[in-house]
Protein backbone atom coordinates (compact mmCIF):
# COMPACT_ATOMS: atom_id res chain seq x y z
CA UNK A 1 0.00 0.00 0.00
CA UNK A 2 1.28 3.47 -0.92
CA UNK A 3 2.27 5.26 2.27
CA UNK A 4 1.95 8.92 1.16
CA UNK A 5 -0.95 9.74 -1.14
CA UNK A 6 -1.63 13.08 -2.89
CA UNK A 7 -5.11 14.37 -2.02
CA UNK A 8 -6.90 16.73 -4.43
CA UNK A 9 -9.68 19.11 -3.34
CA UNK A 10 -12.47 19.98 -5.78
CA UNK A 11 -15.61 22.05 -5.57
CA UNK A 12 -17.89 19.47 -7.24
CA UNK A 13 -15.77 17.70 -9.86
CA UNK A 14 -13.85 14.95 -8.00
CA UNK A 15 -15.65 12.06 -9.71
CA UNK A 16 -15.58 13.64 -13.16
CA UNK A 17 -11.89 14.53 -12.81
CA UNK A 18 -10.85 11.07 -11.59
CA UNK A 19 -12.56 9.47 -14.58
CA UNK A 20 -10.92 12.02 -16.90
CA UNK A 21 -7.42 11.31 -15.57
CA UNK A 22 -7.92 7.55 -15.78
CA UNK A 23 -9.07 7.81 -19.40
CA UNK A 24 -6.32 10.29 -20.30
CA UNK A 25 -3.36 8.39 -18.86
CA UNK A 26 -4.68 4.98 -19.85
CA UNK A 27 -2.49 1.98 -19.02
CA UNK A 28 -2.30 1.10 -15.30
CA UNK A 29 -4.81 3.84 -14.46
CA UNK A 30 -8.14 3.04 -12.82
CA UNK A 31 -10.78 4.20 -10.36
CA UNK A 32 -10.36 2.17 -7.17
CA UNK A 33 -13.36 3.37 -5.19
CA UNK A 34 -16.09 6.00 -5.05
CA UNK A 35 -17.72 6.86 -1.74
CA UNK A 36 -19.85 9.63 -0.28
CA UNK A 37 -19.36 11.40 3.05
CA UNK A 38 -22.81 12.39 4.24
CA UNK A 39 -23.87 15.40 6.31
CA UNK A 40 -20.51 17.16 6.45
CA UNK A 41 -20.25 20.98 6.78
CA UNK A 42 -19.91 20.94 2.96
CA UNK A 43 -22.96 18.70 2.54
CA UNK A 44 -22.64 15.28 0.92
CA UNK A 45 -19.14 14.91 -0.56
CA UNK A 46 -17.91 12.55 -3.27
CA UNK A 47 -14.67 10.84 -2.25
CA UNK A 48 -12.56 9.15 -4.93
CA UNK A 49 -9.58 6.83 -4.79
CA UNK A 50 -7.84 6.23 -8.12
CA UNK A 51 -4.53 5.36 -9.73
CA UNK A 52 -2.59 7.04 -12.52
CA UNK A 53 0.10 4.74 -13.91
CA UNK A 54 -0.05 2.80 -10.65
CA UNK A 55 0.40 5.90 -8.45
CA UNK A 56 -2.49 6.31 -6.03
CA UNK A 57 -4.44 9.56 -5.59
CA UNK A 58 -7.34 10.57 -3.35
CA UNK A 59 -9.81 13.37 -4.04
CA UNK A 60 -12.90 14.98 -2.58
CA UNK A 61 -15.68 17.31 -3.75
CA UNK A 62 -16.14 19.54 -0.71
CA UNK A 63 -16.96 23.03 -1.94
CA UNK A 64 -15.18 26.05 -3.43
CA UNK A 65 -12.89 26.71 -0.49
CA UNK A 66 -9.46 25.93 -1.95
CA UNK A 67 -8.38 26.68 -5.51
CA UNK A 68 -5.55 24.55 -6.93
CA UNK A 69 -2.41 26.23 -8.25
CA UNK A 70 0.98 25.08 -9.58
CA UNK A 71 2.76 25.18 -6.20
CA UNK A 72 2.31 21.39 -6.09
CA UNK A 73 2.32 19.71 -9.48
CA UNK A 74 2.77 16.15 -10.69
CA UNK A 75 5.70 15.15 -12.89
CA UNK A 76 4.78 12.47 -15.39
CA UNK A 77 7.93 10.69 -16.58
CA UNK A 78 7.68 9.31 -20.11
CA UNK A 79 10.52 6.80 -20.13
CA UNK A 80 11.35 5.26 -23.53
CA UNK A 81 12.83 2.22 -21.75
CA UNK A 82 9.41 1.51 -20.21
CA UNK A 83 7.19 2.96 -22.95
CA UNK A 84 8.59 2.51 -26.49
CA UNK A 85 6.01 5.01 -27.77
CA UNK A 86 6.85 7.59 -25.08
CA UNK A 87 7.30 10.47 -27.52
CA UNK A 88 3.88 9.93 -29.12
CA UNK A 89 2.30 9.28 -25.73
CA UNK A 90 3.53 12.58 -24.28
CA UNK A 91 1.95 14.48 -27.18
CA UNK A 92 -1.38 12.72 -26.78
CA UNK A 93 -1.62 13.30 -23.04
CA UNK A 94 -0.42 16.90 -23.40
CA UNK A 95 -3.25 17.57 -25.82
CA UNK A 96 -5.85 16.14 -23.43
CA UNK A 97 -4.53 17.97 -20.36
CA UNK A 98 -4.13 21.32 -22.10
CA UNK A 99 -7.66 21.23 -23.59
CA UNK A 100 -9.54 23.82 -21.55
CA UNK A 101 -6.49 24.37 -19.36
CA UNK A 102 -3.54 26.76 -19.30
CA UNK A 103 -0.04 26.17 -20.66
CA UNK A 104 2.61 27.23 -18.13
CA UNK A 105 5.65 26.15 -20.16
CA UNK A 106 5.27 25.17 -23.81
CA UNK A 107 5.81 21.56 -24.79
CA UNK A 108 9.18 21.55 -26.51
CA UNK A 109 12.92 20.95 -26.19
CA UNK A 110 14.79 22.25 -23.14
CA UNK A 111 18.39 21.81 -21.89
CA UNK A 112 17.20 19.17 -19.40
CA UNK A 113 14.89 17.21 -21.75
CA UNK A 114 14.23 16.80 -25.45
CA UNK A 115 10.50 17.06 -24.71
CA UNK A 116 8.98 18.81 -21.70
CA UNK A 117 5.94 20.92 -20.90
CA UNK A 118 4.08 22.22 -17.85
CA UNK A 119 0.31 22.56 -18.02
CA UNK A 120 -2.55 23.42 -15.66
CA UNK A 121 -5.53 21.25 -16.59
CA UNK A 122 -9.17 22.32 -16.86
CA UNK A 123 -9.70 21.53 -13.17
CA UNK A 124 -6.76 23.71 -12.12
CA UNK A 125 -4.27 20.96 -11.21
CA UNK A 126 -0.81 21.04 -12.72
CA UNK A 127 1.26 18.47 -14.59
CA UNK A 128 4.85 18.47 -15.79
CA UNK A 129 5.28 16.06 -18.70
CA UNK A 130 8.86 15.09 -19.37
CA UNK A 131 10.58 12.69 -21.76
CA UNK A 132 13.25 11.14 -19.56
CA UNK A 133 16.68 9.82 -20.48
CA UNK A 134 16.55 6.00 -20.09
CA UNK A 135 20.30 5.98 -19.38
CA UNK A 136 19.76 7.77 -16.07
CA UNK A 137 18.73 6.31 -12.73
CA UNK A 138 15.18 5.00 -12.94
CA UNK A 139 12.48 7.12 -11.30
CA UNK A 140 8.75 6.47 -10.80
CA UNK A 141 6.37 7.47 -13.56
CA UNK A 142 4.53 9.97 -11.31
CA UNK A 143 6.37 12.28 -8.87
CA UNK A 144 4.69 15.02 -6.77
CA UNK A 145 6.70 18.24 -7.10
CA UNK A 146 6.75 21.19 -4.67
CA UNK A 147 7.50 24.76 -5.81
CA UNK A 148 8.71 27.11 -3.06
CA UNK A 149 7.72 30.70 -3.90
CA UNK A 150 6.95 33.96 -2.07
CA UNK A 151 7.89 33.59 1.62
CA UNK A 152 8.99 30.02 0.90
CA UNK A 153 11.68 31.09 -1.55
CA UNK A 154 15.11 30.02 -0.39
CA UNK A 155 13.69 27.33 1.90
CA UNK A 156 13.51 24.35 -0.47
CA UNK A 157 16.72 22.75 0.76
CA UNK A 158 15.86 23.36 4.43
CA UNK A 159 12.33 22.00 3.93
CA UNK A 160 13.41 18.87 2.10
CA UNK A 161 16.13 18.22 4.70
CA UNK A 162 13.39 18.48 7.35
CA UNK A 163 11.12 16.04 5.51
CA UNK A 164 13.98 13.58 5.00
CA UNK A 165 14.75 13.72 8.73
CA UNK A 166 11.08 13.34 9.70
CA UNK A 167 10.07 10.36 7.56
CA UNK A 168 11.51 6.86 7.40
CA UNK A 169 13.23 5.25 4.38
CA UNK A 170 14.22 8.72 3.16
CA UNK A 171 17.15 10.20 1.27
CA UNK A 172 18.11 12.92 -1.17
CA UNK A 173 18.60 12.17 -4.83
CA UNK A 174 19.94 14.79 -7.24
CA UNK A 175 20.25 18.50 -6.52
CA UNK A 176 20.85 21.24 -9.08
CA UNK A 177 21.47 24.84 -8.03
CA UNK A 178 20.93 28.13 -9.84
CA UNK A 179 24.14 29.42 -11.42
CA UNK A 180 25.09 33.09 -11.44
CA UNK A 181 23.25 35.32 -13.90
CA UNK A 182 19.75 33.90 -13.49
CA UNK A 183 18.29 36.82 -11.53
CA UNK A 184 15.99 37.23 -9.71
CA UNK A 185 16.97 33.71 -8.60
CA UNK A 186 20.08 33.77 -6.45
CA UNK A 187 23.17 31.73 -7.19
CA UNK A 188 23.17 28.54 -5.12
CA UNK A 189 19.42 28.35 -4.53
CA UNK A 190 17.66 25.12 -5.48
CA UNK A 191 16.71 24.91 -9.13
CA UNK A 192 15.66 21.27 -8.73
CA UNK A 193 16.07 18.44 -6.29
CA UNK A 194 14.42 15.09 -5.81
CA UNK A 195 14.17 13.18 -2.56
CA UNK A 196 12.66 10.00 -1.15
CA UNK A 197 10.18 9.80 1.75
CA UNK A 198 8.90 6.41 2.96
CA UNK A 199 10.37 4.84 -0.17
CA UNK A 200 8.52 7.26 -2.51
CA UNK A 201 10.10 9.93 -4.71
CA UNK A 202 9.18 13.60 -4.55
CA UNK A 203 10.72 16.69 -6.17
CA UNK A 204 11.17 20.33 -5.18
CA UNK A 205 12.10 23.60 -6.82
CA UNK A 206 12.15 27.24 -5.77
CA UNK A 207 11.61 30.44 -7.71
CA UNK A 208 12.02 34.13 -6.85
CA UNK A 209 9.83 35.20 -9.74
CA UNK A 210 6.39 36.64 -9.08
CA UNK A 211 4.08 33.67 -9.53
CA UNK A 212 1.13 34.87 -7.47
CA UNK A 213 0.64 31.56 -5.69
CA UNK A 214 1.88 29.51 -2.76
CA UNK A 215 1.00 26.21 -1.09
CA UNK A 216 -2.60 25.71 0.00
CA UNK A 217 -4.98 22.92 0.97
CA UNK A 218 -6.11 22.16 -2.60
CA UNK A 219 -3.28 19.62 -2.72
CA UNK A 220 -2.36 17.91 0.53
CA UNK A 221 -0.27 14.84 1.25
CA UNK A 222 -2.06 12.12 3.18
CA UNK A 223 0.15 9.83 5.27
CA UNK A 224 -1.20 6.39 6.15
CA UNK A 225 -0.01 5.59 9.66
CA UNK A 226 0.25 2.17 11.23
CA UNK A 227 -0.83 3.15 14.73
CA UNK A 228 -1.53 6.01 17.15
CA UNK A 229 2.14 6.30 18.06
CA UNK A 230 3.07 7.10 14.47
CA UNK A 231 0.20 9.58 14.18
CA UNK A 232 1.35 11.31 17.37
CA UNK A 233 4.98 11.50 16.21
CA UNK A 234 4.23 12.93 12.78
CA UNK A 235 1.64 15.35 14.15
CA UNK A 236 4.14 16.69 16.67
CA UNK A 237 6.88 17.02 14.05
CA UNK A 238 4.84 18.54 11.23
CA UNK A 239 2.05 20.70 12.66
CA UNK A 240 3.05 24.38 12.82
CA UNK A 241 -0.27 26.25 12.33
CA UNK A 242 -2.75 25.42 15.13
CA UNK A 243 -5.71 27.03 13.36
CA UNK A 244 -5.19 24.69 10.36
CA UNK A 245 -5.61 21.55 12.48
CA UNK A 246 -8.89 19.84 11.61
CA UNK A 247 -10.05 16.30 10.74
CA UNK A 248 -6.49 14.99 10.62
CA UNK A 249 -5.29 17.94 8.49
CA UNK A 250 -2.35 20.10 9.48
CA UNK A 251 -0.08 22.69 7.91
CA UNK A 252 3.70 22.57 8.34
CA UNK A 253 6.14 25.46 8.87
CA UNK A 254 6.59 25.82 5.09
CA UNK A 255 2.86 26.02 4.31
CA UNK A 256 2.47 22.48 2.95
CA UNK A 257 -0.73 20.71 4.01
CA UNK A 258 -0.67 17.11 5.26
CA UNK A 259 -3.30 14.66 6.41
CA UNK A 260 -2.13 12.27 9.12
CA UNK A 261 -4.54 9.34 9.18
CA UNK A 262 -4.66 5.70 10.29
CA UNK A 263 -4.11 3.27 7.42
CA UNK A 264 -7.16 1.28 8.53
CA UNK A 265 -9.41 4.26 7.81
CA UNK A 266 -9.49 3.32 4.11
CA UNK A 267 -11.31 0.10 4.92
CA UNK A 268 -13.64 1.89 7.33
CA UNK A 269 -14.66 4.53 4.79
CA UNK A 270 -15.06 2.01 1.96
CA UNK A 271 -17.25 -0.36 4.02
CA UNK A 272 -20.54 -1.47 2.53
CA UNK A 273 -22.09 -0.77 5.95
CA UNK A 274 -23.46 2.71 5.29
CA UNK A 275 -24.29 3.33 8.95
CA UNK A 276 -20.75 2.43 10.01
CA UNK A 277 -19.32 4.91 7.48
CA UNK A 278 -21.67 7.60 8.77
CA UNK A 279 -20.64 6.91 12.37
CA UNK A 280 -16.94 7.21 11.50
CA UNK A 281 -17.67 10.44 9.60
CA UNK A 282 -19.45 11.94 12.61
CA UNK A 283 -16.56 10.84 14.82
CA UNK A 284 -13.71 12.35 12.82
CA UNK A 285 -15.33 15.66 11.81
CA UNK A 286 -14.77 17.33 15.22
CA UNK A 287 -11.30 15.83 15.67
CA UNK A 288 -8.06 17.69 15.12
CA UNK A 289 -5.49 14.92 15.46
CA UNK A 290 -6.99 11.53 14.61
CA UNK A 291 -7.84 9.27 17.55
CA UNK A 292 -7.56 5.69 16.30
CA UNK A 293 -9.33 4.11 19.28
CA UNK A 294 -12.29 6.49 18.98
CA UNK A 295 -12.58 5.81 15.25
CA UNK A 296 -12.58 2.05 15.82
CA UNK A 297 -15.33 2.39 18.44
CA UNK A 298 -17.41 4.49 16.06
CA UNK A 299 -16.94 1.99 13.26
CA UNK A 300 -17.94 -0.90 15.48
CA UNK A 301 -20.94 1.02 16.86
CA UNK A 302 -19.71 0.91 20.46
Q: Is the pLDDT of residue 47 over 90?
A: yes
Same domain, 98 and 200: yes
Same domain, 154 and 276: no
Q: For residue 102, what pLDDT is reported?
A: 97
Residue 143 belongs to domain spanning: 72-206
Q: Which residues have C-beta within 8 Å of that of residue 17, sequence separation ≥ 6?
A: 8, 10, 48, 59, 123, 125
Q: Is the pLDDT of residue 154 over 80?
A: yes
Regarding predicted confidence, which is higher, 210 or 24? 24
Q: In which band, very low, low, confident or very high, does the pLDDT at 134 lie, cut at 50, 70 and 90? A: low
Residues in the chain, total: 302
Same domain, 104 and 200: yes
Question: Each residue of 2-26: pLDDT tens digit?
Answer: 999 999 999 999 999 999 999 999 9
- Helix residue ranges, H only, the chain: 14-25, 86-98, 156-166, 228-238, 265-269, 274-284, 292-300
Instruction: Report yes or no on 4 lying in a domain.
Output: no
Q: In which band, very low, low, confident or very high, does the pLDDT at 78 lie, cut at 50, 70 and 90? A: very high
Instruction: Report yes or no on 12 lying in a domain.
Output: no
Same domain, 176 and 249: no
Same domain, 190 and 248: no
Q: In which band, very low, low, confident or very high, does the pLDDT at 70 lie, cut at 50, 70 and 90? A: very high
How far is it, in rounded angstroms, from Cα 31 to Cα 48? 8
- Report the share of the chain in percent with pLDDT over 90: 89
How far is it, in rounded angstroms, from Cα 140 to Cα 203? 11
Supply the mean pLDDT for the chain: 95
Instruction: Report yes or no on 253 lying in a domain.
Output: yes
Q: Is the pLDDT of residue 220 over 70?
A: yes
The mean-pLDDT minimum among 50-54, 206-210, 245-249 falls in 206-210
pTM: 0.95
Amino acid sequence: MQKIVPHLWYDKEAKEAAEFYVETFGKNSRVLSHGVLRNTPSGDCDVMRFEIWGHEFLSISAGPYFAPNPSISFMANFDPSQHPDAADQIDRIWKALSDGGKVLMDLGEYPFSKRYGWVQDKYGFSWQLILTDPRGEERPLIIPSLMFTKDGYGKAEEATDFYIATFNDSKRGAIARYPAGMEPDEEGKVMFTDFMLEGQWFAAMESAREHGYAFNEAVSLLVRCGDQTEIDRLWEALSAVPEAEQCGWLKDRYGVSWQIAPAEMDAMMESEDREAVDRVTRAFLPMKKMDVAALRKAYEGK
